[in-house]
């Protein structure tokens, strides 16, 4: 079959765990043909991965390149404005996640409004980029805000929101992919590519989640200077888009039980879920035979606020007090996060750790990085099922990690897991292991055995092979009738009647 794999900011233009997973899937399932759809920045990114023979096409959808306004963008067609009015109406509603029925109704209404907008633009044969920034569309957004909040949105916030929508909705209006299955590596904007293929061609849609997309949007710091109203609308867009992804997917393939619970909380159905752990080839990650002369902690990953290197550095300051010879080696690139890397270097100086911390840049080989340490650390505030942990365990290295995402499911009793953002607990765990050679090596041996028993690449690829076959045999769009039981189940659990908002998902022309 032909499979379209979709990702944002990763393969083939960046390194990291999601990119590793993409490459594993394409190369490992060589019996299929693949197309890769990459959501990129400006479209000028340089590929960092060698293209496999069965990867037939790589298509970039730039989110932030200069747009090309539609002809007549100052006067959008009335049908467009009708559909856009429905989208704005749900987008500006105050959050009420404590009311399960209202939250689910909002997800359904948002899904319907997106599809209506997609159907209208295909029927009219128009290119809608630029329409949402037109004066009539700005008026629609302002009026919707006033109806629900009894106050006027500022022109600045309206323009910021319209500009953001103009960029973020681009994947929905790009040429729909033609494939037997669309597989999105994450929720959010990537799912717009799958929505378009499903609504245009009835293509089955699978969604994986390496991290919990919505949670990470909440955790990310907001850009300076963005107004309060625009921040609310941006987060509401991501909240509703994540919920739509869980509703529309034919199959959900979370990478951990933790992610599965998050999907259930936000509208996913158990009958469409398969937990799919990441796997590695043990032969490519041989166990280390010796340790460095100095007690050494290794971090391997992208330099990113989500990895919370500030907590790791503060923990290492405590480690150095207890073990003056200790070293910390930080491997990873910082493309797009240069300011965060600079802040890590500044903190290193402030903590007087310059002689103990080295920022190594991207590792020449991950195995070499893991083998260069006595233990491997991961201090993230959000994760899915991180390759760093499983690869390090395969190398027989003991890990100290934060309890986020599926980390505890990976580590179990083969390492130490501590709360996130707790530098004291992280330091205590590192000190305990660095001072106890016998226990550290015993846990390292147990870690490799755990990978061999549960997290091999062969097992992971076989699970995806089965899922693709299963989903492709049930080709077809989830209709309004198929979505109705979702709302009915929530209503029954809450003991109340639903409102009149219902999906009207007519077929796309």
State pLDDT tens for residues 70-80: 444 568 889 99
Q: Which residue has the higher pLDDT, 409 or 267?
A: 409
In this predicted structure, the answer to whether residue 490 has a pLDDT above a threshold of 50 is: no
In this predicted structure, the answer to whether residue 33 has a pLDDT above a threshold of 90 is: yes
What pLDDT, on the 0 to 100 scale, is given for residue 336?
81
Confidence tier at 416 by pLDDT (50, 70, 90): very high
Facing residues of 57 across strands?
35
Contact 400, 430 (CB under 8 A): yes
Q: Mean of the pLDDT values across residues 370-384?
A: 95
Residues 6+ positions from 53 with CB-CB distance below 8 Å? 30
What pLDDT, on the 0 to 100 scale, is given for residue 214?
74
What pLDDT, on the 0 to 100 scale, is given for residue 480?
43
Q: Mean of the pLDDT values across residues 427-437?
A: 98
3-class DSSP state for residue 309? helix
What pLDDT, on the 0 to 100 scale, is given for residue 245?
93
Distances (CA, A) of 367 to 339, 376, 409, 416: 28, 12, 22, 21
Q: By C-alpha distance, which of 45, 25, 34 is closest to 2?
A: 34
Helix and strand tally (H, E) in the chain? 19, 12
What pLDDT, on the 0 to 100 scale, is given for residue 104?
81
Confidence tier at 224 by pLDDT (50, 70, 90): low
Residues 6+ positions from 120 with CB-CB distance below 8 Å? 77, 79, 80, 82, 83
Give the lowest-confidence range in 120-134, 266-280, 458-472.
Answer: 120-134
Give the lowest-confidence range in 58-67, 183-192, 248-257.
Answer: 58-67
How far apart CA 470 and CA 109 sit, in angstroms, is 29
In this predicted structure, the answer to whether residue 234 has a pLDDT above a threshold of 90 is: no
In this predicted structure, the answer to whether residue 503 has a pLDDT above a threshold of 50 is: no
Distances (CA, A) of 135 to 76, 118, 125, 158: 9, 21, 21, 11
Q: Which residue has the higher pLDDT, 69 or 105?
A: 105
In this predicted structure, the answer to whether residue 97 has a pLDDT above a threshold of 80 is: no
Which of the listed ranges 46-50, 139-143, 391-395 does the model predict with the highest average pLDDT?
391-395
How far apart CA 400 and CA 418 sit, in angstroms, is 8
Confidence tier at 56 by pLDDT (50, 70, 90): very high
> Which residue has 């233009």 as its token pair?
13
pLDDT tens digit sequence for 154-183: 888 888 888 888 888 999 999 999 999 999
Express as a percent the part of the chain with pLDDT over 70: 90
Give the lowest-confidence range in 120-129, 141-150, 370-379, 392-401.
Answer: 120-129
Confidence tier at 485 by pLDDT (50, 70, 90): low
Distances (CA, A) of 400 to 125, 452, 477: 55, 20, 44
Please report the domains of the chain, with CATH numbers, ordered by start residue.
2-67+171-278+463-472 (3.40.50.2000), 78-165+486-494 (no CATH), 282-455 (3.40.50.2000)
How far apart CA 48 and CA 146 sit, in angstroms, is 47
pLDDT tens digit sequence for 295-310: 999 999 999 999 999 9
How far apart CA 104 and CA 498 sit, in angstroms, is 10
How far apart CA 406 and CA 416 sit, in angstroms, is 14
Confidence tier at 465 by pLDDT (50, 70, 90): very high
């Amino acid at each position: 079959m032909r499979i379209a794999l979709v990702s944002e900011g990763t393969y083939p233009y960046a390194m990291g765990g999601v990119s590793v997973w993409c490459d594993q899937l394409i190369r490992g399932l060589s019996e299929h043909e693949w197309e890769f759809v990459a959501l990129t920045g400006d479209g000028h990114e340089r590929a960092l991965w060698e293209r496999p023979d069965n990867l037939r096409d790589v298509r970039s959808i730039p989110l932030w390149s200069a747009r090309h306004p539609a002809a007549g963008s100052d006067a959008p067609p009335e049908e467009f404005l009708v559909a856009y009015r429905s989208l704005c109406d749900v987008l500006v509603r105050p959050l009420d996640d404590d009311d399960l029925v209202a939250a689910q109704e909002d997800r359904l209404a948002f899904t319907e409004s997106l599809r209506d907008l997609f159907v209208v633009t295909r029927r009219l044969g128009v290119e809608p980029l630029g329409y949402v920034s037109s004066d009539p569309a700005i008026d629609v957004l302002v009026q919707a805000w006033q109806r629900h909040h009894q106050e006027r949105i500022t022109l600045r916030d309206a323009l910021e929101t319209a500009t953001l929508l103009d960029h973020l909705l681009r994947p929905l209006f790009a040429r729909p992919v033609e494939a037997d299955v669309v597989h999105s590596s994450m929720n959010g904007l990537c799912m717009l590519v799958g929505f378009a293929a499903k609504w245009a061609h009835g293509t089955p849609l699978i969604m994986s989640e390496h991290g919990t997309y919505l949670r990470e949007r909440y955790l990310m710091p907001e850009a300076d200077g963005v107004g309060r109203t625009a921040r609310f609308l941006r987060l509401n867009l991501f909240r509703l888009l994540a919920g739509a992804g869980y509703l529309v997917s034919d199959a959900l393939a979370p990478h951990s039980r933790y992610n599965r619970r998050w999907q259930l909380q936000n509208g996913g159905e158990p009958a469409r879920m398969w937990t799919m752990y990441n796997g590695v080839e043990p032969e490519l990650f041989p166990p280390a035979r010796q340790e460095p002369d100095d007690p050494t902690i290794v971090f391997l990953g992208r330099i990113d606020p989500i990895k919370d290197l500030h907590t790791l550095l503060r923990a290492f300051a405590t480690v150095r007090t207890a073990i003056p010879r200790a070293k910390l080696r930080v491997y990873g690139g910082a493309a797009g996060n240069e300011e965060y890397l600079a802040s890590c270097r500044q903190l290193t100086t402030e903590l007087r750790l310059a002689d103990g911390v080295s920022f190594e840049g991207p590792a020449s080989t991950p195995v070499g990085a893991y083998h260069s340490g006595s233990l491997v650390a991961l201090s993230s505030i959000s994760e899915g099922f991180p390759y760093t942990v499983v690869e390090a365990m395969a190398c027989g290295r003991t890990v100290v990690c934060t309890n986020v995402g599926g980390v505890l499911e990976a580590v179990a009793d083969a390492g130490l897991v501590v709360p996130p953002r707790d530098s004291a607990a992280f330091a205590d765990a590192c000190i305990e292991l660095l001072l106890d050679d016998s226990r550290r090596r015993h846990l390292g041996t147990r870690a490799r055995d755990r990978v061999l028993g549960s997290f091999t690449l062969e097992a992971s690829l076989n699970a995806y092979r089965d899922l693709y076959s299963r989903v492709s045999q049930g080709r077809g769009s989830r209709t309004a009738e198929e979505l109705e039981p979702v709302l009915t189940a929530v209503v029954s659990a809450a003991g109340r009647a639903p409102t009149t908002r219902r999906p009207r998902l007519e077929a796309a022309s």
